[in-house]
C-alpha cells in the first residue's frame, strides 16, 4: 500500500524495508530487530500501545504521504540516489567498462558514471530519470543542491 512512498524514501537515500511479508506481527518484529521506525496506514496496528516508534500515514496519495513523512523525520539527511530503489541495497560505483554490455548504447556513450546494485545487479546512472526525480523532489520542497 505504501510501495511508492517506500521507493521515494529509497531515492532520498533512506534505508527502507518494504514487502508483502511486512505486515502485522512480522512488521513489528522487523522494526524491533532492526530498530526501524514503522511507517504504516494500518489503523488497527497503531492502536497497540506497545508498538515500537512509528509514523501513521493518513494521506492516500504518495506526494502527500512523502510530505507527512518529511514533516516527521529529517528526510534531507539521507544521501539521495545512493540506494537501489527495488532492493534497498547501497549502490556500488563501477567503472565505465563494466557498464558497456549492461546499459543501452546511447547511455553508455553519454554517461561516464555508473552504479550497480549488489543484489539485483541493476545499473544506475545520473541521467534523465535523475533529472525527473530531482524535479519531483523540488516540487515537494525536498531538493538538495546537486
Q: Which of 123, 104, 101, 122 is nearest to 113 (CA)?
A: 123
Minimum distance from residue 118 beta carbon to Zn ion (Å): 8
Instruction: Give strand ranges (E) for 1-100.
Output: 38-40, 54-56, 92-94
Cα torsion 132, 86, 59, 57: sign: negative
Element (H, E) at 18: none
Minimum distance from residue 122 beta carbon to Zn ion (Å): 5
Query: Residues 33-72: x/- map of binding to Zn ion (CB under 5 A)?
Result: ----------------------------------------
Among 117, 123, 124, 142, binds Zn ion (CB under 5 A): 117
Minimum distance from residue 42 beta carbon to Zn ion (Å): 26
CB 108 within 8 A of CB 99: yes
Shorter beta-carbon distance to Zn ion: residue 69 or 84: 84
Write the CB contacts of 48 (distance below 8 Å, at least 6 apart in sequence). 28
Reduced to 3 states, what is the DSSP secondary structure of residue 97?
helix
Query: Residues 74-113: x/- map of binding to Zn ion (CB under 5 A)?
Result: ----------x-xx--------------------------
Shorter beta-carbon distance to Zn ion: residue 120 or 131: 120
Among 92, 93, 119, 139, binds Zn ion (CB under 5 A): 119
* Rounded distance between C-alpha atoms, residue 61 and residue 130, angstroms: 21
Shorter beta-carbon distance to Zn ion: residue 75 or 117: 117
Which chain residues interact with Zn ion by CB under 5 A?
A: 84, 86-87, 117, 119-120
Amino acid at each position: 500500500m505504501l510501495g511508492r512512498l517506500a521507493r521515494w524514501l529509497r531515492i532520498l537515500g533512506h534505508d527502507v524495508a518494504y514487502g508483502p511479508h511486512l505486515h502485522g506481527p512480522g512488521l513489528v518484529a522487523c522494526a524491533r530487530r532492526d530498530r526501524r521506525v514503522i511507517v504504516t496506514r494500518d489503523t488497527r496496528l497503531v492502536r497497540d500501545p506497545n508498538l515500537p516508534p512509528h509514523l501513521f500515514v493518513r494521506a492516500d496519495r504518495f506526494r502527500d504521504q512523502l510530505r507527512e513523512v518529511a514533516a516527521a523525520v529529517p528526510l534531507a539527511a539521507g544521501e539521495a540516489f545512493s540506494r537501489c530503489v527495488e532492493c534497498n541495497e547501497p549502490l556500488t560505483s563501477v567503472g565505465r567498462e563494466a557498464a558497456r554490455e549492461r546499459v543501452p548504447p546511447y547511455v553508455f556513450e553519454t554517461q561516464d558514471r555508473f552504479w550497480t546494485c549488489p543484489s539485483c545487479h541493476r545499473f544506475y546512472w545520473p541521467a534523465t530519470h535523475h533529472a525527473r526525480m530531482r524535479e519531483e523532489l523540488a516540487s515537494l520542497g525536498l531538493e538538495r543542491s546537486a
